Structure 1
Amino acid sequence: MNLLINVDHVATLRNARAESFPDPVHAAARCEHAGADGIVFHLREDRRHITERDVRLLRETVTGKLDFELSTAPDVVAICCDVAPDLATLVPERREEITTEGGLDVPANAERLEAVVPQLYDAGVAQVSLFVDPVPAHIRAARAAGANAVELHTGDYANARTADARAAELERLAAAAAVAHDEGLRVHAGHGLDYRNIAAFCDAVPHVHEVSIGFAIMARAILVGLDTAVRDMAARLRTA
C-alpha cells in the first residue's frame, strides 16, 4: 500500500504568520526522501493554505505521484488542467469548514462532475478520483460520472469512539472497497488515518492501493522530526 503525504498543514503554518517558511515544497521533498510514495495538496478556492505558487513548484519538484485535490470551481479546475498532475481528486468544499467534512454527494452533483471529469482527462490527468463516503450508490455514481478511482472517506472510522463503532465503520469501508473494486475503480483512502488506527484499517479493508495522510504525520513531525514521522508511517504500511 502506497503512502501519499498531504503537505497542506505546512502551508497553514507558513501562512499563519505571512512568512515564506516553512515551505510545503521543501517539506514535500523531505517526505519523499524519507520514503513517501507521493504528495497530496488541496488548492482551496480561498487559497487558505496552498497557493498557486506552491502548486506549480510541486509539479516541478515532486518525483513520485502528485495528487491535486480540488473542488469543481472553474478557476481551480483550469489550474489543475494546466498543471496536469498524476492524480486529480475531486472533493467537496465549504468556505467555513476547518477541514473536509465528508465525501461528495455524487448523485446530487452528477451533472457538474460529468462535465469536469472529461476536462481533466483531456488535459492529461491519468487518474481522476472522487472523494466519497463508503456508500455503494455514490461509488457506482462515481463510475457513471467517468472517474477511474475513488478515495474512501475514512473520517467516520477515525472519529469512532468505541470498539464496536470502529468495527462497524471498518465493515462499511470494506464493503465499499469491494464495490469499488467490482466496478473497476482504483481504491484510495484517507481522512483521519493516523499511527494508532492505520493497522486495523489495513487489516480490514481490501483492495486499497494508497492512503493519503497529512495531519497525523505533520503533528508527529513537530515532536520527532519530519523524516522520522514519515519513516514510522511508511514502516506501518509496509508491515500491514
Structure 2
Amino acid sequence: MTQNHCKLSVNINKIATLRNSRGGNVPDLLKVAADVQKFGAQGITIHPRPDERHIRYQDARDLKSIVYTEYNIEGNPEKDFVDLVLDVKPTQVTLVPDAVDALTSNAGWDTVAHQDFLKEVIQEFHRNGIRTSIFVDPVLAMIEGAKATGTDRIELYTEAFAHEYGLGNRNGILPYTASAVLANELGLGINAGHDLSLDNIQFFNQNIPNLKEVSIGHALISESLYLGLENVVNMYLQKLK
C-alpha cells in the first residue's frame, strides 16, 4: 500500500461543548487551538451548527487569527454557513449534509441527487480561493458523483469502518480502500473522519492510499482525559507516519 503523509486535523468541538456547559470561557477554545498546533497537529477543524450548541459562529471568526496550520470548517452549506465561510476564508470547507437536529454527522452526501446544488456551492467557494471537500459514504457511485461536482477532495465517512473494526472485522476497510483507489484515479484528494481513534487509525491509514488528512475530535479529546492532550496528539502523529 502507498506510504501516506497524512495530516492530523484536531476537531475542537468537544472543547466548545465543555466550555458552553458552564458558561464563561473555561476551557479557553482559542488557547486549546493554539496548544494543539504547538503540540504538532497540522490542522484545526470546527463544525458549527445552526443552534451553536458547541462551536459558535464567532468562534470561527476568532480562530482565524489563531490557526496558522490548516483551518477546516465543516457544515451544511445553508446560507448562514456559506456566509460565515466566505467571511472567514479558511483553508478548507467540508460540506456535510447534517439535519438541523442531528446529534452528530450520520451520512454522506448523495452526490448524484444533489450534484447541481453542490456544484453551485463549490464554485462559489472556489471563486473565493477556498479548497472544498465533500463528506461521502464509501460508495463508488458517490465518489464518481463527487468528481462531477468539481470538488477538490472527498472526506470518507468512517463510522462503519470503526464499528466493524471494533468487532474484529478487518474486512470493513475494503469499501474504503476501493473508494480511495477510485478517488485517486479521478484526481480527488482524500480526507477521512468520524469515530477514528488511537485503536484504529494506524490500520486505516495503512490501507487508504494517499490519505491526505484525518479529522479527529471526540476520540482524541476523550483519550486526552486519561493520557494528556500533548501526549495524545503525538501518539496520533506517530501512528500516521
The answer to whether TM tops 0.5 is: yes
Q: Counterpart in 1 of 2:37?
A: 32
Distance in 1 (alpha carbons) for counterparts of 2:80 and 2:95 = 14
Please list the CA deviations of residues 145-178 of structure 1 after superposition, one character each: whole Å capped at 9, or x if unmatched.
Answer: 11010011111011125323xx232010000001
Work out whether 1:119 is the aligned partner of 2:132: no
Q: How does 1:57-76 map to 2 (within 5 A)?
A: 57-76=62-81
Please list the CA deviations of residues 94-145 of structure 1 after superposition, one character each: whole Å capped at 9, or x if unmatched.
Answer: 23322111211222222221211111111221x1000100111111111111
User: Identical aligned pairs, as a percentage?
Assistant: 34
Work out whether 1:44 is the aligned partner of 2:49: yes
Greater alpha carbon shift after TM alignment, 223-232 vs 167-176: 223-232
8 Å CA contact 1:8–1:24 kept in 2: the answer is no
How many pairs were matched up? 235
Q: Counterpart in 1 of 2:3?
A: none
Work out whether 1:227 is the aligned partner of 2:226: no
The secondary structure found in structure 1 opposite 2:175 is helix
Counterpart among 202, 210, 214 of residue 207 in structure 1: 210
Counterpart among 140, 152, 156 of residue 152 in structure 1: 156
Counterpart among 169, 177, 180 of residue 177 in structure 1: 180
How far 1:49 sits from its partner (Å)?
Answer: 0.8
Please list the CA deviations of residues 186-225 of structure 1 after superposition, one character each: whole Å capped at 9, or x if unmatched.
Answer: 1111111001011111222212111111111101112222
Work out whether 1:196 is the aligned partner of 2:174: no
Counterpart among 16, 20, 34 of residue 11 in structure 1: 16
Unaligned runs of 5+ in 1: none
Greater alpha carbon shift after TM alignment, 94-103 vs 130-139: 94-103
Q: Counterpart in 2 of 1:90?
A: 95
Structure 1 segments, 4+ long, off by >6 Å, are none
The secondary structure found in structure 2 opposite 1:108 is coil
Distance in 2 (alpha carbons) for counterparts of 1:87 and 1:111 = 20
Work out whether 1:139 is the aligned partner of 2:138: no
TM-score, normalized by length of structure 1? 0.94
The secondary structure found in structure 2 opposite 1:182 is helix
Unaligned runs of 5+ in 2: 1-5
Q: Counterpart in 2 of 1:237?
A: 240
Larger RCO: 1 or 2 (CA < 8 Å, sep 6+): 2
The secondary structure found in structure 2 opposite 1:106 is coil
The secondary structure found in structure 1 opposite 2:65 is helix
Distance in 1 (alpha carbons) for counterparts of 2:77 and 2:58 = 20
8 Å CA contact 1:5–1:213 kept in 2: the answer is yes
8 Å CA contact 1:72–1:112 kept in 2: the answer is no
Aligned residues: CA RMSD: 1.2
Distance in 2 (alpha carbons) for counterparts of 1:46 and 1:107 = 29
